[in-house]
């Protein structure tokens, strides 16, 4: 038996101190689109998301809310799940780091790393940023603040266990060299490469002052550093070491993350895996950031955008589309309601919605045979769209799909079907309906709800990538409502 190609994609597991905003929605929607694309191709697909529940940040947030950490995080986790449902996220697994099975996996992996001689006891003295759960040296601080987020840092002086990250410099460089796509996108690879070439310092991996976390299996006074605990979610969710899913899906094909946590994923994570004798993932893709009114999205700046509100106001698919159409995955962008509205009106209503509406309107007034010879197939390049999606160029893929939609609209203008009848009209309709059926398949990972609505109006079954070829049209057209509503 030939095994199906497989695709394992993950999002970061999000902190549970607050509910998700547009930034969290971005990564999750992008991963959802890629997972749905691979399902269209018939790949055995596993899409993992989840929550990072331990650490000082969650401990403090729980205390503020007057709840136990577990009680507090349970509430936020339900909120995350509610948001992912509202955004039509098709995850296959949801991992919580407070799951006992996850904690056992982490302890087991740490024991392997220790047995490999890569953990030693020492003393940590340096700075800690609680919002980022990150250690910094004095030299790294910017004006005495966290160089990543600009917030206050706190001085730590405590006994700690260390992981010998320094030992892995050569093996990491070899990994990057042997797997040219490991560090993605290319534009961000250099930064990591240079830092690794400069030399790696061992990292502190335990704390004595934090209780909310995985107990360090080799010394119960210590709690494991939340990042080390968190990274192992990607294999604990698959039941490492013996789980069937682990055997089927590991190594991950893509860890999709925001650029600020690239270091953890591109350097620390593969080093931990190499130490534990586990194969590293195939690719870490660090995407860009959304700002809001030109600034980082933060509660204290009052510029946090609620993804569910956007979806309710402008339609879910217009929101999903805007997230992926505004800029390539590697770049930064500024989120604005005006930008969302413009895309909704100019691209979704005027192009996609218009094409469907014109097609079904003409079809509704036609009682001849919908048949003819393919004319609109020549400018359709499904292979190109697939190549772009394989490179995680979701923006380029949408551009290619939408330029085809434009071509189909131009075909209507050129053919002037309102002047035609009989077999000539049947031929134009045939071409339009087949084009619309295929477009519906191609947009389905991005806009699953709209694809369903299109299929209902042209009487088509949900298809897969192999169905994106012109063939006899056998649907029954039932004209329905406009796909998108224009917003003033």
Tell me which of 7, 8, 9, 15 binds ligand ME8, using CB under 6 A.
15
Contact flag: residue 13 with ligand ME8 (CB under 6 A): yes
- Distances in Å between the Cα of 226 and the Cα atoms of 51, 106, 213, 233, 322 are 12, 11, 7, 11, 33
Tell me which of 7, 8, 9, 27 binds ligand ME8, using CB under 6 A.
27
Considering only 62-70, 211-219, 228-236, 372-380, which stretch makes contact with ligand ME8 by CB under 6 A?
A: 228-236
Nearer CB in complex with ligand ME8: 27/206:
27
Contact flag: residue 94 with ligand ME8 (CB under 6 A): no
Contact 350, 319 (CB under 8 A): no
Tell me which of 48, 261, 273, 376 binds ligand ME8, using CB under 6 A.
261
Contact flag: residue 484 with ligand ME8 (CB under 6 A): no
Considering only 24-32, 145-153, 318-326, 418-426, which stretch makes contact with ligand ME8 by CB under 6 A?
A: 24-32
- Distances in Å between the Cα of 179 and the Cα atoms of 151, 279, 282 are 36, 13, 8
Contact flag: residue 404 with ligand ME8 (CB under 6 A): no
Considering only 11-19, 141-149, 192-200, 240-248, which stretch makes contact with ligand ME8 by CB under 6 A?
A: 11-19
258 strand-pairing partners = 287
Report how far residue 314's alpha carbon sits from residue 485's, in angstroms, rounded to the nearest whole number: 8
- CB 27, min distance to ligand ME8, A: 4
Report how far residue 62's alpha carbon sits from residue 40's, in angstroms, rounded to the nearest whole number: 42
Contact flag: residue 437 with ligand ME8 (CB under 6 A): no
Report how far residue 110's alpha carbon sits from residue 455's, in angstroms, rounded to the nearest whole number: 50
Two tokens, residue 181: 């796509």
In the block, residue with structure tokens 């949900």: 462
DSSP state of 241: T
Considering only 18-26, 316-324, 429-437, 465-473, which stretch makes contact with ligand ME8 by CB under 6 A?
A: 18-26
Kindly give, in sequence order, each residue whose CB lies less than 8 Å from that of residue 436, ignoring residues fewer than 6 positions away: 355, 356, 359, 408, 454, 458
Nearer CB in complex with ligand ME8: 210/405:
210
Contact flag: residue 314 with ligand ME8 (CB under 6 A): no
- Give 303-309 contacts, CB < 8 A, sequence gap 24+: 304/21, 304/22, 305/21, 305/22, 305/335, 306/21, 306/22, 307/20, 307/21, 307/22, 307/24, 307/25, 307/83, 307/86, 307/87, 308/83, 308/86, 308/87
- Distances in Å between the Cα of 479 and the Cα atoms of 362, 368, 413, 422 are 10, 17, 20, 20
Contact flag: residue 32 with ligand ME8 (CB under 6 A): no
> Residues touching ligand ME8: how many (CB under 6 A)?
19
Contact flag: residue 136 with ligand ME8 (CB under 6 A): no
- CB 353, min distance to ligand ME8, A: 28
Contact flag: residue 96 with ligand ME8 (CB under 6 A): no
Q: Write the interaction track for ligand ME8 spanning residues 41-60; mark x where CB under 6 A is met and - where it is not.
A: -----------x--------
Q: Interior CA angle at 114 toward 120 and 232, to 5°?
A: 110
Give residue number: closest CB to ligand ME8.
23
Tell me which of 119, 129, 268, 297 binds ligand ME8, using CB under 6 A.
297
- Burial of 317 from C-beta contacts in 10 A (0-12 / 13-18 / 19+): buried
Tell me which of 290, 314, 319, 402 binds ligand ME8, using CB under 6 A.
290
Contact flag: residue 165 with ligand ME8 (CB under 6 A): no
Which positions lie near ligand ME8, rule CB under 6 A?
Answer: 12-15, 23-24, 26-27, 52, 230-231, 233, 257-258, 260-261, 289-290, 297
């Amino acid at each position: 038996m030939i095994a199906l190609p497989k695709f394992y994609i993950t999002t970061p597991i999000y902190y549970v101190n607050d509910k998700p905003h547009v930034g969290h929605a971005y990564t999750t929607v992008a991963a959802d689109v890629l997972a749905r694309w691979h399902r269209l191709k018939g790949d055995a697909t596993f899409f993992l998301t989840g929550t990072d529940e331990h650490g000082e940040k969650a401990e403090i947030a729980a205390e503020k809310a007057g709840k136990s950490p577990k009680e507090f995080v349970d509430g936020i986790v339900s909120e995350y799940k509610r948001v992912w449902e509202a955004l039509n996220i098709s995850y296959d697994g949801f991992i919580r780091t407070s799951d006992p099975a996850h904690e056992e996996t982490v302890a087991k992996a740490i024991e392997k790393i220790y047995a490999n001689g890569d953990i030693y006891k020492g003393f940590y003295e340096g700075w800690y940023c609680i919002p980022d759960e990150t250690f910094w040296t004095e030299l790294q601080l910017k004006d005495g603040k966290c160089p990543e987020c600009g917030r206050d840092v706190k001085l730590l002086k405590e006994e700690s266990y260390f992981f010998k990250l320094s030992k892995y410099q050569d093996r990491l460089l070899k990994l990057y060299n042997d797997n040219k796509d490991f560090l993605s996108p290319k534009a961000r690879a250099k930064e990591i490469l240079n830092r690794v070439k400069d030399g790696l310092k061992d990292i502190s991996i335990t704390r004595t002052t934090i209780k909310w976390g995985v107990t360090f299996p080799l010394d119960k006074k210590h709690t494991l550093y939340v990042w080390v605990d968190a990274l192992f979610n990607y294999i604990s969710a698959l039941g490492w070491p013996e789980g069937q899913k682990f055997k089927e899906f590991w190594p991950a094909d893509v860890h999709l993350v925001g650029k600020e946590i690239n270091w953890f994923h591109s350097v620390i994570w593969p080093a931990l895996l190499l130490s534990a004798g586990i194969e590293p993932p195939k690719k870490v893709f660090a995407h860009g950031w959304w700002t809001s009114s030109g600034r980082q999205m933060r509660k204290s700046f009052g510029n946090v955008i609620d993804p569910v509100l956007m979806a309710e106001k402008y339609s879910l698919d217009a929101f999903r589309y805007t997230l992926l159409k505004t800029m390539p995955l590697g770049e930064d962008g500024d989120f604005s309601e005006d930008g969302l509205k413009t895309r909704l009106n100019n691209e979704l209503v005027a192009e996609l919605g218009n094409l469907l509406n014109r097609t079904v309107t003409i079809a509704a007034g036609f009682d001849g045979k919908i048949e003819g010879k393919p004319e609109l197939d020549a400018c359709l390049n499904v292979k190109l769209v697939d190549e772009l999606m394989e490179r995680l160029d979701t923006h380029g893929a949408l551009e290619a799909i939408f330029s085809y939609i434009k071509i189909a609209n131009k075909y209507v203008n050129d053919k002037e079907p309102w002047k035609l009848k009989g077999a000539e009209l049947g031929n134009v309709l045939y071409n339009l309906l087949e084009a619309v059926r295929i477009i519906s398949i191609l947009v389905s990972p991005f806009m699953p709800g709209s694809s369903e609505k299109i299929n209902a109006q042209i009487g088509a079954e949900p298809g897969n990538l192999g169905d994106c070829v012109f063939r006899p049209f056998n649907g029954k057209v039932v004209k329905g409502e406009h796909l998108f509503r224009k917003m003033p």
